[in-house]
Structure 1
Amino acid sequence: MNKIHGLALGAVATALLISLTACSGMSQQDKSTAVGAGIGAVGGSVLTGGSAAGAIGGAVVGGVIGHEIKK
């Protein structure tokens, strides 16, 4: 079980490092849109008790707000 846990942890760490490089070519407005969508998704999920529809709605609203802030 510890070997599987270690492999999973390594895979998550690798995925995190790869995903961090994906933001290097983004403009500041694109980054703000992505951050807004992430925060909105978490907020929408929390406010609706874990509903997928709430997370999607929050992501949309957060993305639009993040996009408009950096115009």
Structure 2
Amino acid sequence: MQKKISFLAAAAILGLAGCNSGSDLERALIGGAIGCAAGEIYQDGECITGAAIGATAGALANDI
């Protein structure tokens, strides 16, 4: 379990590093992927909920 969380944390950091120069669609895709992973970790089987929240946050990240 510890390796899974470490891998997901590294993937999240690398994904978020690309958010500064990407389009809204790219940020939404990265946010959705990270949200899906977070949903699976925190609430088993909540990938879709996490992906929806992550994609929304990613798309709006540069607008705030």
> What TM-score comes out, normalization by structure 2 length?
0.60
User: Is 1:28 equivalent to 2:23 in the alignment?
Assistant: yes
| % same residue | 21
The answer on whether the counterparts of 1:40 and 1:59 sit within 8 Å (CA) in structure 2 is yes
The within-5 A match list for 1:1-71 is 28-49=23-44, 51=45, 54-71=46-63
Instruction: Note the aligned Cα RMSD (angstroms).
Output: 1.2
Between Structure 1 and Structure 2, how many residues are aligned? 42
Q: Which runs of 4+ in 1 moved over 6 A?
A: none
Which residue identity does 1:44 align to in structure 2?
G
Can you give the 5+ residue segments of structure 2 that lack an aligned partner in the other structure? 1-21
Task: Say if 1:28 and 1:70, in contact at 8 Å, map to a contact too.
Answer: no
Deviation of 1:48 after TM superposition, in Å, equals 1.0
Contact 1:32/1:70 (CA < 8 Å) preserved in 2?
no
Is the 8 Å Cα contact of residues 42 and 55 (structure 1) preserved in structure 2?
Answer: yes
Report deviation, 1:70. 2.6
More helix by share: 1
Q: What TM-score, normalized to structure 1?
A: 0.55
- Report the alpha carbon displacement of residue 40 of structure 1 after superposing the two structures with TM: 0.1
